[in-house]
C-alpha cells in the first residue's frame, strides 16, 4: 500500500507531503499504481523547481518507496501561491488514482 500524508497549516497552506510504501498492484516494472504515483509526485517537485525557482527540501529513501518533501516558507507571495497550486494539482492527480485503486493507495490530509 502507498500511503501519502499531506501536512497543512490551519489556513490550509500545505507544509509538506510524504509518500511511503509500494502499491504491490503488479510486479516491479509493471505496477501502474506505483508508476503513476511516482510520476505525479516527482513531476510536482520538478515543476516547483522549474517554474518557481524554489528548491524544496527532498528526502528520498532507498528501495522502500519513501519520499518526503518540505515546502519552504518564502516571502514572495506569488511564488508561494504557485507552489501551493502545483502541490494541490499533485493531490488531485493522486486522488484520481486513489478513486480507482483505493486498495493500493491511501491519501491522508492533516
Rg of the chain (C-alpha set): 14
68 given a catalytic annotation? no
Given the residues 7, 13, 22, 79, the one annotated as active site: 22
Nearest to 94 by CA among 80, 79, 108: 108
Burial bucket for residue 30 (CB in 10 Å: 0-12, 13-18, 19+): exposed
Nearest to 58 by CA among 2, 4, 105, 16: 16
Size of the chain, expressed as the number of residues it contains? 110
Given the residues 4, 19, 23, 34, the one annotated as active site: 34
Residues that are catalytic: 22, 34
Amino acid at each position: 500500500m502507498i500511503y501519502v500524508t499531506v501536512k497543512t497549516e490551519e489556513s490550509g497552506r500545505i507544509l509538506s507531503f510524504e509518500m511511503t510504501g509500494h502499491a504491490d498492484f503488479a510486479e516491479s516494472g509493471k505496477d501502474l499504481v506505483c508508476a503513476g504515483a511516482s510520476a505525479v509526485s516527482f513531476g510536482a517537485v520538478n515543476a516547483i523547481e522549474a517554474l518557481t525557482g524554489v528548491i524544496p527540501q527532498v528526502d528520498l529513501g532507498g528501495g522502500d518507496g519513501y519520499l518526503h518533501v518540505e515546502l519552504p516558507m518564502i516571502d514572495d507571495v506569488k511564488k508561494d501561491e504557485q507552489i501551493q497550486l502545483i502541490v494541490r494539482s499533485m493531490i488531485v492527480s493522486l486522488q484520481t488514482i486513489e478513486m480507482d485503486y483505493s486498495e493500493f493507495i491511501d491519501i491522508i490530509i492533516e
